[in-house]
Amino acid sequence: MVAPWNTEAIDSQFKVVTPENIAFNYQVAGPFRRLLAFLLDLAIRAAVILAFFIVLSIAGVGSIFVSAGLEDLMFALMTLAAFFFNWFYMAAFEYWWNGTTPGKWLLNLRVTTDEGEPINLFQSAVRNLFRYVDMWPMVPLPFAVMREEMTPEPVVVTFLFALIVPIFNQRFQRIGDLVAGTMVVIEDRSWLMKIAKIEDDRARLLADYIPPNFVAPRSMVKAVATYVERRRYFTTARRREIARHLAEPLLEKFGLPADTSYDLLLCALYYRTFLSKHSADGTKEDSQLLGDLTQQSNPYSAAPNSPVTAQSK
- Evaluate if residue 53 carries a pLDDT over 70: yes
CB 70 within 8 A of CB 62: no
Task: Determine the pLDDT at residue 12.
Answer: 67
Q: Are 306 and 264 in contact (CB under 8 A)?
A: yes
SS3 17: strand
Angle at 162 between CA 157 and CA 166, to 5 degrees: 165
User: How far apart are the C-alpha atoms of 265 and 252, rounded to whole Å?
Assistant: 12
Cβ partners under 8 Å of residue 92, min gap 6: 124
| Cβ–Cβ < 8 Å for 306, 267 | yes
Residues 93-112: pLDDT tens digits? 999 988 999 999 999 999 99
Domain residue extents for the chain: 10-186, 196-310
Q: Is the pLDDT of residue 182 over 90?
A: yes
Helix H or strand E segment including 254: helix 236-254
Residue 308 has pLDDT above 50, yes or no: no
156 — pLDDT class (breaks 50, 70, 90): low
Quick: pLDDT tens for 20-37.
455 567 788 988 899 899
Q: Is the pLDDT of residue 44 over 90?
A: yes
What pLDDT is stored for residue 121 in this prediction?
Answer: 92
CB atoms within 10 A of CB 228: 26
What is the band of 168 on the pLDDT scale with cuts at 50, 70, 90? confident
Give the rounded distance of the alpha carbon of 212 from its chain centre. 21
Phi, psi of 102 (to 5 degrees): -55, -40
Per the CB < 8 A criterion, the answer to whether 89 and 101 are in contact is yes
258/243 Cα distance (integer angstroms): 14
Q: What is the pLDDT of residues 240-259, one digit of tens each?
A: 988 998 999 999 999 999 88
Coil, strand or helix at 132: helix
Using one digit for the tens of pLDDT, what is the confidence trace for 190-238? 545 556 677 778 888 898 899 988 888 877 888 888 888 888 878 888 8
Q: How confident is the model at residue 151 (pLDDT cuts 50, 70, 90)?
A: low
On the question of pLDDT at 40 being above 80, the answer is yes
Angle between helices 262-270 and 236-254 (to 10 degrees): 70
SS3 311: coil
Q: Can you give the pLDDT at residue 231?
A: 84
C-alpha 178/C-alpha 170 separation (Å) is: 12
* pLDDT tops 90 at residue 41: yes
What does the pLDDT average to over 102-123?
A: 90
pTM: 0.56
Alpha-carbon distance of 286 to 124, in angstroms, equals 42
Per-residue pLDDT at 274 exceeds 70: yes
